[in-house]
């Protein structure tokens, strides 16, 4: 089983990110594409690349290499310096062990560190531990919450990839776990529960519905998930959209375009045509 958020190298040397597991099959998109004129050199393939913006999820093709965040972290923790070394030291200090930390992103797949290091934290208990110690973590490493300037930057960068009905600006502003080190440098940990990775295969049926959020903290996990009240029953809302970091909070009343499974009590936002609009 491929761990969610692993990267794979296909037989044309393009690098894919695995965004979700549907029916035990990995789905994702090319995040770095081989391009002789590209401005990013990869030390593993010895080729140049351009970074891609995801345009929808595809079944991952046959691949020749899997990049494993936890194994990479175990090998490279000793190479972390400055604020990134201090960050993992603080994670250890609050009780998150090295066994539950990984590294993903460009560093994992063979590119030099340009701005930041991206970390994975495994286990739902560690999400709650991080949340409890959020202020302490930021204070210890001299970080802040995401700035208004960075919210605007990310919104302008990604808004055209989402439905115009989506409250994307508000969603981005809810990034409580990210650590902003300085202008333009923001690292947001990805929280993964390996016991809860699969989402059902898309049935391509969508409904516009309204529901109220009962528990939204776990929308920081991937897949994003929350307990909601819909048609007077408790449902689980799921999405694999990475930009929806911490997008729901307790008490939110939302309208969304989603797939609804009334038998399994699931509401799923599969793609960027789906949206979330806040009604309160």
- Beta pairing, strands 207-215 & 253-261: antiparallel
Q: What is the phi/psi pair of residue 168, to 5°?
A: -65, -35
pTM of the model: 0.92
* Domain 203-278 fold: OB fold (Dihydrolipoamide Acetyltransferase, E2P) (2.40.50)
Residue 68 backbone phi and psi in degrees, to 5: -110, 115
pLDDT of 112: 87
pLDDT digits (tens, 9 = 90+) for 231-272: 999 999 999 888 899 999 999 999 999 999 999 999 999 988
Give the C-alpha separation, 72 to 66, whole Å. Answer: 11
- Token pair 């998109």: residue: 29
CA distances 151 to 57, 88, 185, 273, Å, are: 25, 25, 12, 21
d(CA 20, CA 18): 6
Domain ranges (residues) in the chain: 1-67, 203-278
Q: How do residues 169-217 score in pLDDT, each as one tens digit? A: 999 999 999 999 999 899 999 999 888 878 888 889 999 999 999 999 9
Q: Label residue 167 by pLDDT band (50, 70, 90).
A: very high
């Amino acid at each position: 089983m491929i761990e969610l958020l692993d990267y794979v190298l296909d037989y044309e040397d393009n690098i894919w990110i695995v965004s979700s597991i549907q029916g035990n099959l990995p789905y994702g998109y090319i995040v770095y594409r081989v391009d002789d004129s590209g401005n990013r050199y990869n030390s593993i393939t010895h080729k140049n690349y351009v970074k891609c913006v995801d345009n929808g999820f595809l079944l991952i093709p046959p691949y020749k290499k899997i990049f494993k965040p936890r194994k990479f972290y175990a090998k490279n923790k000793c190479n972390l310096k400055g604020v990134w070394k201090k960050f993992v030291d603080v994670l250890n200090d609050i009780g998150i062990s090295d066994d539950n930390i990984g590294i993903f992103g460009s560093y994992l797949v063979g590119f030099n560190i340009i701005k930041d290091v991206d970390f994975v934290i495994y286990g739902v208990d560690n999400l709650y531990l991080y949340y409890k110690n959020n202020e302490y973590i930021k204070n210890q490493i001299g970080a802040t919450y995401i700035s208004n300037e960075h919210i605007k930057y990310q919104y302008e960068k990604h808004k055209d990839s989402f439905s115009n009905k989506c409250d994307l600006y508000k969603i981005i502003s809810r990034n409580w776990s990210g650590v902003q080190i300085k202008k333009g440098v923001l690292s947001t940990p990805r929280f993964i529960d390996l016991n809860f990775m699969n989402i059902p295969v898309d049935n391509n049926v969508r409904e516009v519905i309204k529901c109220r959020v009962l528990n939204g903290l776990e929308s920081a996990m991937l897949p994003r998930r929350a307990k909601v009240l819909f048609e007077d029953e408790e449902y689980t809302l799921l999405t694999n959209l990475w930009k929806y970091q911490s997008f729901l909070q307790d008490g939110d009343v939302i309208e969304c375009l989603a797939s609804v499974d009334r038998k399994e009590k699931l509401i799923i936002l599969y793609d960027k045509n789906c949206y979330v609009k806040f009604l309160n």
